[in-house]
Amino acid sequence: MPNLLPPLASRRTHWAELTSGDTLFRHLQTVGESWRVAADSAWLDADPVSNATLSYAAFWWKRGHVDELPESEKDEAFRRWKIFAQMLWCFDEARRSERIEPSEIDRVALGNRLPAFDKQQGITQFTGDPSGRSADVARAYMWIRSFRSIEPSARAAVPVALYDTKEGSGFLATLTLEVMPGGVGEVADHPGAAFDVIHHDAFVKSIGRAWTMALRATSGEARVDGRWRVERRAVPRSSASRELRLVDGPSASGAAVRGWWHVLHNRIPDAEIVVLAQISKDGNSLETVDFVSRKVEAIVREGTGSDGHSAFDTIVVIGDRARKEAEEALGDNPLGIRVVSLG
Residues 211-231 have pLDDT tens digits of 999 999 887 667 899 999 999
Q: What distances in angstroms separate CA 259 from CA 29, 38, 53, 281, one per listed residue?
A: 27, 38, 40, 19
Q: Is the pLDDT of residue 275 over 80?
A: yes
The full set of domains in the chain, from first to last, is 8-147 (no CATH), 154-341 (3.30.230.10)
Instruction: Give the pLDDT confidence score for residue 296 in this predicted structure.
Output: 97
Per-residue pLDDT tens over the stretch 170-209: 999 999 999 999 898 999 999 998 998 999 999 999 999 9
214 φ, ψ (degrees, to nearest 5): -65, -40
Per-residue pLDDT tens over the stretch 290-343: 999 999 999 999 998 888 889 999 999 999 999 999 999 999 999 999 999 997
Angle at 194 between CA 105 and CA 190, to 5 degrees: 50
Per-residue pLDDT tens over the stretch 217-266: 887 667 899 999 999 865 555 555 567 788 999 999 999 999 999 999 98
Per-residue pLDDT tens over the stretch 128-148: 887 788 899 999 999 999 998
pLDDT band per the 50, 70, 90 thresholds, residue 100: low
